[in-house]
Structure 1
Amino acid sequence: MARSSCGMTLWLDVASERVDASASRWRPARPPALSFASACSGTHALGRVKVLPTDPLHHPRMKMISSLVFLALHALAASSTALKKGDCPLDTSVSMHIPANQTALVQPATAPLFVALGVGFQNYTCNAAGTFASIGAVASLFDLSCIAHKKAFNTVAARAYDAWVAAPPGVSQTYIGAEVGVPVLLGFHYFIASPLGTPGAINAKWDFTSTGRFKGDETAFVVGAKVGDIPAPPPAVDAVTVDWLMLNGIPNFDALAAQVFRVDTVGGQPPTSCVPGTDTTIEVKYVAKYFFY
């Protein structure tokens, strides 16, 4: 915001999308607005940009403000372009903050290849013992690389989960990614029959072959086998939050990455009991970060 000697004020108004749960509908964002307000004269609106009734560029004080307008628009455009295409540089400072005093999950020494926000469902079935057993998960994966060095990276999973659980039926994961500022879809996460040949077993797959910059590349996926897990550390609540995981890529199914980590989980745990024959399968919303190495 800039202010001139006669009370001129410039501001940039950026509104985000949000869920209007009470109205059971998704309310889209307003486009950004640049506004001028002056104590010396009124304001007029031209589209989403308000301008003074006289040519402001002839005002000696307006050269500075005009420059600020240009810089604000340039920064907004640059940021928007980066978020739209994703694939921003990642380095070793982008880490998972794995808890100390445990060996189940080990932070790699290299920079991650990709960092994604998973928004989706953990799936469960009620077994004969009256408890829910996992039958996999499905999620959309959004590119986090362009916010990985920003403060928003630390809170994006919690913010996405809040938006996801508040979203009315019919709202897709794509809207949640846009809501929290990570609209670029990298791919999808789901489970497949185990390529290791174990009868009835399933393994997690992260698939980038059908969308984004890897669309059409049939090798852009990894199927993982779990090699370590820990309960989600505080402040997560064990009763409602799924574990953090380390998975190794299965040979010949690991062209995308050699390792995958699931961290910063929110939600995803089923109820503690069920009624066999009555409660069959359920899906529980969850959000997590996935690091690929």
Structure 2
Amino acid sequence: MLFTQASFVLALATSAVAAAPIEKRWGGWGSWANHGGRPWWTPSASASYLEFGKRFPGADSNAPTCDLSQAVMPAAPTPLPAPASGLTLSHVAIGRGTQNYTCDLTNATAVPTATGAKATLFNVSCIAADTPDLLAKLPSIALDLPIPSSDDESSPAYQDMSGHHYFLDATTPFFNMDTTLHQYGTGRFKKSNGSNAPSDALLGTNNQGFGSVQWLKLDAKDSAGQVLQEVYRLNTAGGQPPKTCQGMPAAFEVQYSSEYWIWAQ
């Protein structure tokens, strides 16, 4: 299914967010149209990873100038540990995809077992820095939009893609931020800490479902071998399975969305 930019812009237009800060971020609707109708601008291929992440672009970059050091992560209901000393917030993305589960159909009392997740990541770094109130709404908005077609290079959504998130095995989340558009790095991670989502978090698509997955802090599995060091999954929307496997298939997916805050050396 195609996550069209038109549908996303329409959703934003109907959200309760004032337009003025967005126009400042994008340079106004005229400027938005002149850049292919893409509110999530990306830098040129020659812009470096840190130039992109910190949003102090070089002369050859079309990325907007904003100070990502001003972005503040939302606080989890049960506080998560702060980023390690010396790390820099390098990227903020909205992830849209599925949480994946299995059920043991031979066991009448079985409960769903998490087997990982997969999501496409979209750049919202400057929104995090400039309009945090808007950012907080995006996971819920994204959850009610179709899952994007990340393989279609002609899709408007592809131009704003930061990368992909998936699992290498049951306990190793992987972030691949290298695409044909840019090379921001890759990383293998492990769960470090978690916090249950707020009690009023979205239940699922159209607010129908079983709740939102935990907020997480992930640490690099090999901190010496990768630029990306820590990832926070925050403001989750959806993704929880039913409490039992009754009536469920052997394998199933639950749609979700969330913010991903990526810290680097």
TM over 0.5: yes
Q: Which residue of 2 aligns with 1:210?
A: 179
Q: Which residue of 2 aligns with 1:154?
A: 136
Cα deviation, 1:251-289, whole Å, max 9, x if unaligned, reads 15751311010001000011121149x720001110011
Which residue of 96, 117, 121 corresponds with 2:94? 117
C-alpha spacing 1:131/1:80, structure 2 compared with 1 (3 Å): same
* Aligned: 1:283 with 2:248: no
Letter in 2 for 1:204: P
Q: Which residue of 2 aligns with 1:184?
A: 160
Deviation of residue 96 (structure 1)? 1.6
Query: Which consecutive aligned stretches of 4+ in structure 1 deviate over 4 angstroms post-superposition?
Result: 78-82, 107-111
Letter in 1 for 2:231: V
For 1:26-175, what aligned pairs fall within 5 Å after superposition? 73-74=30-31, 76-77=33-34, 83-86=40-43, 87=52, 88=55, 89-99=66-76, 102-106=78-82, 111-127=88-104, 128=107, 129-148=109-128, 149-150=130-131, 151-164=133-146, 172=149
Q: Percent identity?
A: 24
C-alpha spacing 1:173/1:96, structure 2 compared with 1 (3 Å): farther
CA RMSD of aligned residues (A): 3.5
Q: Which residue of 2 aligns with 1:225?
A: 190
Q: What is the distance in 2 between the residues matched to 1:233 and 1:183?
A: 32
Q: Which residue of 2 aligns with 1:55?
A: none
Q: What is the distance in 2 between the residues matched to 1:182 and 1:94?
A: 25
* Aligned: 1:256 with 2:227: yes
Task: Calculate the TM-score normalised by the size of structure 1.
Answer: 0.60
Structure having the higher Rg: 1
Deviation of residue 111 (structure 1)? 4.6
Q: What is the distance in 2 between the residues matched to 1:172 and 1:250?
A: 29
Deviation of residue 137 (structure 1)? 0.5
Deviation of residue 246 (structure 1)? 0.3
C-alpha spacing 1:253/1:202, structure 2 compared with 1 (3 Å): farther
Which residue of 18, 33, 38 corresponds with 2:7? 18
| SS of structure 1 residue aligned to 2:34 | helix
Q: What is the distance in 2 between the residues matched to 1:205 and 1:257?
A: 11
Deviation of residue 240 (structure 1)? 1.4
Q: More relative contact order in 1 or in 2 (CA 8 Å, sep 6+)?
A: 2
| SS of structure 2 residue aligned to 1:18 | helix
Which 10-residue stretch deviates more, 116-125 or 151-160? Answer: 151-160
| 8 Å Cα contact 2:140/2:202 also seen in 1 | no
Structure 1: state its 5+ residue gaps.
1-15, 20-27, 30-70, 194-200
Q: Which residue of 2 aligns with 1:244?
A: 215
Deviation of residue 202 (structure 1)? 3.0
Deviation of residue 241 (structure 1)? 0.5
C-alpha spacing 1:152/1:77, structure 2 compared with 1 (3 Å): farther
Letter in 1 for 2:161: L
| SS of structure 2 residue aligned to 1:147 | helix
Q: What is the distance in 1 between the residues matched to 2:158 and 2:178?
A: 19
C-alpha spacing 1:132/1:75, structure 2 compared with 1 (3 Å): closer
Q: What is the distance in 2 between the residues matched to 1:209 and 1:182?
A: 13
